[in-house]
Structures are given as C-alpha cells and as structure tokens.
Amino acid sequence: MLRSFRSTRFGKPVIALALVVVMLGAAIAAGAGVLARSASTSSYTPQTRTYTITAVPVLVHEMQSTLPYLQKDFAPGGVLDGKEVYGFMPSTLTVYQGDTLNLTLVNPADDPHTFTISEFGVNAQMPGTSSTTTSFVASKAGIYTYVCEEAEHVPFMYGQLVVLPDPATAQ
C-alpha cells in the first residue's frame, strides 16, 4: 500500500529534498531562459533585399474572345463592368524591420499600373510594357498592403508586405 511521506521515518528529509530539487530545477530553467534570451539578442544587421514584382493579367478585356463567358461579365452592369483583374506576382514579400528593399517592377501589358505602399511613401508608376525600379527601407514592423491605384484595377490588384520585427528588439 502507498503510505504518505509523513508516515515514513524519512518523511521530512524526503520532502525537504524534493523541495530542493524543484527549486534547483526552477533556478536552472530560469538561468537557461536568460542565456537563451541573451544569445538571441545578437544584433541583427539589416540587409538589402532585391525582388522582381510583375503585374500579371488575370481577367482582362482581351480574354473575352478566348473565354466567352467574360463578355457578360465585362458588359455594362456585369460584375466586371469598368474593371479588369490584375495581380502582383509575388503577392507576398517578407522582410525584417530595417531591411532595404530594391524592387524591379515589371509591367508586360499595355495597361498602366502603380505600386503603392502608402505607409512607406512608395508610389511607383508602372507604365505599360515597361519596367521600373524603386527602393525604400521597411522601417516599421507590421503587415502592409501594396496596391495598384488605377481605378480600373481597384480592388483586385494588391499584395502584402510582411515586415517582421528586428529579432534583437522583439524580446
């Protein structure tokens, strides 16, 4: 049968030893946490990241002859009346706070576009059948939407810039 610690002749010393072991384990764990934090706070050096982003036609007027059902959609009163659907590829970029982004923006189609991230003051023009470059520093951590501000492409043409916090300051 199981007996409580108090009913054995070693009860008090066993309890005291168990408490010492628990306290020692907690001290070791706390010390390991401090060591892990100090090891992870090694300073992050911001990097320059280079990306190519392409404006890609998804559903545009020119596709009506290939996809006849689009005629109804693009017709007056249709779901795409006055609109065209383009996308940015890639549609998500992930960087760290403090990184510099050098972007090459490619527009293979005739329609003009913009690449706009208002929170970073970026508003690059993307004329038809051209490429252009822009550069900025991702100074604030967060998730930011980049868009094309051409009325015909709103609200379909967008992507996200994910700016992770500087690992040294994320503690």
For residue 166, what pLDDT is reported?
A: 82
Angstrom CA distances, 7 to 17, 21, 52, 146, stand at 16, 21, 75, 71
Residues 124 and 134: their CA atoms lie apart, in Å, by 7
Residues 75 and 96: their CA atoms lie apart, in Å, by 44
Residues 23 and 85 placed together within one structural domain of the fold: no
For residue 32, what pLDDT is reported?
A: 45
Residues 79 and 20 placed together within one structural domain of the fold: no
For residue 35, what pLDDT is reported?
A: 45
β-bridge partners, 92: 160
Residues 102 and 150 placed together within one structural domain of the fold: yes
Residues 151 and 157: their CA atoms lie apart, in Å, by 10
In a domain, 170, yes or no: no
For residue 43, what pLDDT is reported?
A: 82
Angstrom CA distances, 138 to 50, 60, 163, stand at 13, 32, 7
Q: Alpha helices of the chain — where are they, by DSSP H?
A: 11-40, 70-74
Q: Which CATH number characterizes residue 112's domain?
A: 2.60.40.420
Structural domain boundaries, residue 27: 5-40
Task: Judge if pTM exceeds 0.75.
Answer: no
Kindly state the helix (H) or strand (E) to which residue 137 belongs, with its residue range: strand 130-137
Domains: count for the chain: 2
User: Is there a contact between 149 and 116 (Cβ–Cβ < 8 Å)?
Assistant: yes
Angstrom CA distances, 129 to 100, 111, 122, stand at 26, 8, 21
For residue 24, what pLDDT is reported?
A: 44
For residue 11, what pLDDT is reported?
A: 53
DSSP line for 57-95? EEE-GGGGGTSTTHHHHHSTTSTTTT--EEEEES-EEEE
In tens digits, the chain (171 residues) has pLDDT values of 445 444 455 555 544 444 444 444 544 444 444 444 445 555 889 999 999 999 999 999 999 999 999 999 999 999 999 999 999 999 999 999 999 999 999 999 999 999 999 999 999 999 999 999 999 999 999 999 999 999 999 999 999 999 999 877 765
In a domain, 28, yes or no: yes
Kindly state the helix (H) or strand (E) to which residue 136 belongs, with its residue range: strand 130-137
